């Protein structure tokens, strides 16, 4: 007799248990076991339950290849789906084999699991393993299909209804419940405050603070006090919600009609615009979408003072200089200068939400996720490495497209039209390159290597290096030579789909369509993980902190930009800012999106076990230790700052684009 001991792990999330009958069949190189019934006692609806069972055979099965897990199609039980996390099989010789599952099973469904070391397609020689691998990918490609979103944009998943999201990619029960609760609470509070349908404009800035009780924090309080300050205005281009646009300016744009005389009073004594050009930063939102209330493509010149403070010294509210498109200066009427800064903040906020955040983290994260699910089977080493960084991404994007973006959706209500959204996304996508997604190259291209107090840059570069070191160790373990990279057909199809469906086959994007070397693979995988975790955190976590106070980051303005000076007042500014309904809806939406949910998974944390090789498990521990050290260093730095930069602290970064 040969006895195999099975440890069956239900998921740790709510409603993962089952009272159904389960059956298992072990498949070896020599023979199969009988279909064995597993009692579900111990696998009830309490989370994290583990059941231990035995499967006996007259003779050894040989090398264990596969495990078939079935759920009884006829047994009546209250729950619809059951989640199996993993099954560990103890062999007759006491060796243990991990069979990762991480799958929801409906009544009557079955799953065929692979166990043991991660393998590439060309390493499988047994016919049953080859067949299982092929069938898994066929099933995945039928379930997850590419769909054209709009012309000139990355493809998306072919599921548009949040209610139709399959169990494999949907939010956990606790997250879905929390999301629904926060949404209903914010809408109820808007109604209670009389802000749901109010078209009135605010009478004062003090009255606006009555809305910001949605969420109180160090940051939101600080922003509401300092949003008018020039130094805080400059600070936000480095460490705010959108540190991705500012760039060094060694030559002024031809359409920015600034003269020496205009800005000389704001430069250091004895200096000139020409002399200071080497340390001046330039910002252009590069978006200009016609609509009832135009989104202005502002030009803003900032100056790095000898005290290392970044200050705005000139603003042009439009791309085309004219008598009606004047240059606004800090010496202008206070309300004129503040109004000009508000138009810049409006353009930057929209650019941040639409391009830096949604396009370059959410939509690209979706591309990476679909390609992984379609082309890399669960036993593939890169599936095991990447799948934690794809968690909840597809469901989050389906919800976003169904509720936030597009005709009649929420974003159109308090920001720009659906046509404007698409045009901005197209333009942003046309400027998205491989280099722009890699922080070392991105920072260098923008000339920001040495500007002081750029905490986003400092943290991003260190995070990239730590992730790159981790990926290097993992990839080198499974791909000891360039020839193994070239020979991996699944890997080549993975990057090929990203190139064609994610970047529309554009060679000038710099995105590869194939891999030839280990080095190429390491860089690309590092970019995927960094984009899906760190870069998303930088764009996502501070949304409410910086944009929740509406005057600091209005997503909609109600008046055209000023064409003359000396005619504005604080009443003009209040009339220009969003009305009560738009401001309230904007604030509540930002609160909903930037909330931290109960099933938050920090970067480098892998609650679902995919790898079983001791060497790889040690690499994960080393990765976590590096992240922990960086977290300590960032916490120490932040303790000395007036306004801490927390968004790139590893313990604040989620593993994936999860909302």
Tens of pLDDT, residue by residue over 14-45, are 666 666 788 999 999 999 999 999 876 555 55
pLDDT at residue 292 greater than cutoff 50 = no
Q: How confident is the model at residue 196 (pLDDT cuts 50, 70, 90)?
A: confident
Lowest mean pLDDT among 280-289, 369-378, 440-449, 459-468: 280-289
pLDDT at residue 69 greater than cutoff 90 = yes
Q: What pLDDT, on the 0 to 100 scale, is given for residue 82?
A: 84
Concatenated DSSP letters of 375-427:
HS-TTSHHHHHHGGGGTTHHHHHHHHHHHTSSTTSHHHHHS--HHHHHHHHHH
pLDDT at residue 575 greater than cutoff 90 = yes
Cβ neighbours for 233, distance < 8 A, ≥ 6 positions apart: 227, 311, 312, 341, 344, 345
pLDDT at residue 582 greater than cutoff 90 = no
* Contact status, residue 335 vs residue 329, Cβ threshold 8 Å: no
Which regions of 121-213 does DSSP assign to beta strands (E)? Answer: 146-147, 156-157
Lowest mean pLDDT among 262-276, 349-363, 518-532: 262-276
Q: Which of 448, 423, 383 is CA-nearest to residue 150?
A: 423
Q: What pLDDT, on the 0 to 100 scale, is given for residue 14?
A: 65
Q: Which of 81, 92, 119 is CA-nearest to residue 3?
A: 92
Q: What pLDDT, on the 0 to 100 scale, is given for residue 276?
A: 38
Q: What average pLDDT does the segment 440-445 reach?
A: 97
Q: How confident is the model at residue 285 (pLDDT cuts 50, 70, 90)?
A: very low
Q: What pLDDT, on the 0 to 100 scale, is given for residue 441?
A: 98
3-state secondary structure of 514: coil
CA-to-CA distance for 158 and 144, rounded, in angstroms? 7
Q: What pLDDT, on the 0 to 100 scale, is given for residue 585?
A: 86
Percent of the chain with pLDDT over 90: 68
Q: What pLDDT, on the 0 to 100 scale, is given for residue 249?
A: 82
Which segment, 166-175, 323-332, 455-464, is predicted with the most confidence on average?
455-464
Tens digits of residue pLDDT in 178-191: 999 988 888 888 88
Q: What average pLDDT does the segment 199-215 reach?
A: 78
Cβ neighbours for 9, distance < 8 A, ≥ 6 positions apart: 48, 49, 50, 84, 85, 86, 87, 88
What backbone torsions phi and psi does residue 653 show, to the nearest 5 degrees? -95, 125
pLDDT at residue 293 greater than cutoff 60 = no
CA-to-CA distance for 412 and 555, rounded, in angstroms? 10
* Contact status, residue 67 vs residue 89, Cβ threshold 8 Å: yes
Tokens of 591: 């609160």
Q: What pLDDT, on the 0 to 100 scale, is given for residue 106?
A: 86
CA distances 328 to 51, 334, 350, Å, are: 70, 11, 21
Pick the residue with more confidence: 49 or 588?
Answer: 588
Q: What pLDDT, on the 0 to 100 scale, is given for residue 280?
A: 29
* Contact status, residue 555 vs residue 546, Cβ threshold 8 Å: no
Q: How confident is the model at residue 365 (pLDDT cuts 50, 70, 90)?
A: very high
Q: What pLDDT, on the 0 to 100 scale, is given for residue 552?
A: 96
pLDDT at residue 277 greater than cutoff 60 = no
Tens digits of residue pLDDT in 312-338: 999 998 888 887 888 999 999 999 999
What is the number of other CB atoms lying within 10 angstroms of the CB of residue 533? 27
Tokens of 440: 């070392």
Tokens of 76: 């009546």
Q: What pLDDT, on the 0 to 100 scale, is given for residue 75?
A: 66
Q: What average pLDDT does the segment 414-420 reach?
A: 80
Q: What pLDDT, on the 0 to 100 scale, is given for residue 40?
A: 60
């Amino acid at each position: 007799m040969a006895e195999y001991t099975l440890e069956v792990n239900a998921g740790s999330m709510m409603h993962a248990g089952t009272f159904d009958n389960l059956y298992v069949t072990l498949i070896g190189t020599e023979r199969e076991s009988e279909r064995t019934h597993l009692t579900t006692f111990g696998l009830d609806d309490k989370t994290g339950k583990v059941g231990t069972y035995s499967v006996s055979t007259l003779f050894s099965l040989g090398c264990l290849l596969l495990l078939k897990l079935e759920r009884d199609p006829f047994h009546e039980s209250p729950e619809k789906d059951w989640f199996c996390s993993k099954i560990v099989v103890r062999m007759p010789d006491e060796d243990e084999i991990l069979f990762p599952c991480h799958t929801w099973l409906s009544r009557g469904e079955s799953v065929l699991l692979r166990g043991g070391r991660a393998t590439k397609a060309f390493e499988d020689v047994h016919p049953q393993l080859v067949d299982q691998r092929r069938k898994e990918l066929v099933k995945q490609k039928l379930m997850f299909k590419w769909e054209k979103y709009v012309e000139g944009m990355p493809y998306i998943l072919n599921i548009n209804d949040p209610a139709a999201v399959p169990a494999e990619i949907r939010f956990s029960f606790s997250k879905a419940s929390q999301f629904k609760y926060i949404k209903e609470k914010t809408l109820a509070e808007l109604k209670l405050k009389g802000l749901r349908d109010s078209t009135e404009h605010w009478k004062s800035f003090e009255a606006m603070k009555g809305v910001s009780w949605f969420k109180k924090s160090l940051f939101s309080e600080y922003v509401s006090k300092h949003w008018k300050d020039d130094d805080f205005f400059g600070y936000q281009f480095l460490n705010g919600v959108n540190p991705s646009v500012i760039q060094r300016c060694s030559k002024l744009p031809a359409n920015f009609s600034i003269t020496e005389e205009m800005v000389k009073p704001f430069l250091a004594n004895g200096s000139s615009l020409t002399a200071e050009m080497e340390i001046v930063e330039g910002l252009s939102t590069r978006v200009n979408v016609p609509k009832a209330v135009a989104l202005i493509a502002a030009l803003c010149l900032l100056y790095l003072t000898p005290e290392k403070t970044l200050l705005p010294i000139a603003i042009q509210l439009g791309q085309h200089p004219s008598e009606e498109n004047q240059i606004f200066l800090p010496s202008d009427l206070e309300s004129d200068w503040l109004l000009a800064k508000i138009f810049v903040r409006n353009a930057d906020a929209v650019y941040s939400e639409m391009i830096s955040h949604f396009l370059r983290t959410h939509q690209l994260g979706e591309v990476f996720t679909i390609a992984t699910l379609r082309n890399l089977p669960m036993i593939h080493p890169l599936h095991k490495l990447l799948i934690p960084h794809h968690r909840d991404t597809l469901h989050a994007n389906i919800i976003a497209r169904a509720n936030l973006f597009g005709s009649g959706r929420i974003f159109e209500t308090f920001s720009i039209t659906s046509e404007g959204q698409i045009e901005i996304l197209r333009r942003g996508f046309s400027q998205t390159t491989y280099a722009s997604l890699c922080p070392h190259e991105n920072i260098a291209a923008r000339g920001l290597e040495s500007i002081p107090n750029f905490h986003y840059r400092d943290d991003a570069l260190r995070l990239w290096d730590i992730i790159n070191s981790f990926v290097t160790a993992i990839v080198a373990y499974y791909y000891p030579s360039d020839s193994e990279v070239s020979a991996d057909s699944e890997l080549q199809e993975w990057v090929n789909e990203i190139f064609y469906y994610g970047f529309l086959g554009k060679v000038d994007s710099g995105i590869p369509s194939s891999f030839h070397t280990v080095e190429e693979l390491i860089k690309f995988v590092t970019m995927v993980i960094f984009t899906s975790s760190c870069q998303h955190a930088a764009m996502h976590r501070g949304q409410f902190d910086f944009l929740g106070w509406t005057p600091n980051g209005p997503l909609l303005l109600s008046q055209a930009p000023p064409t003359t000076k000396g005619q504005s007042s604080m009443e003009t500014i209040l009339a220009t800012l969003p009305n009560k309904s738009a401001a309230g809806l904007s604030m509540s939406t930002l609160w909903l999106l930037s909330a931290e949910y109960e099933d938050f998974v920090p970067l480098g944390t892998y609650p679902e076990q995919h790898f079983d090789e001791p060497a790889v498990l040690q690499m994960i521990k080393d990765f976590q230790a590096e992240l922990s050290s960086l977290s300590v260093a960032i916490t120490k730095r932040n303790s000395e700052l007036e306004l801490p930069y927390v968004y790139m602290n590893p313990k604040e970064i989620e593993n994936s684009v999860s909302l």
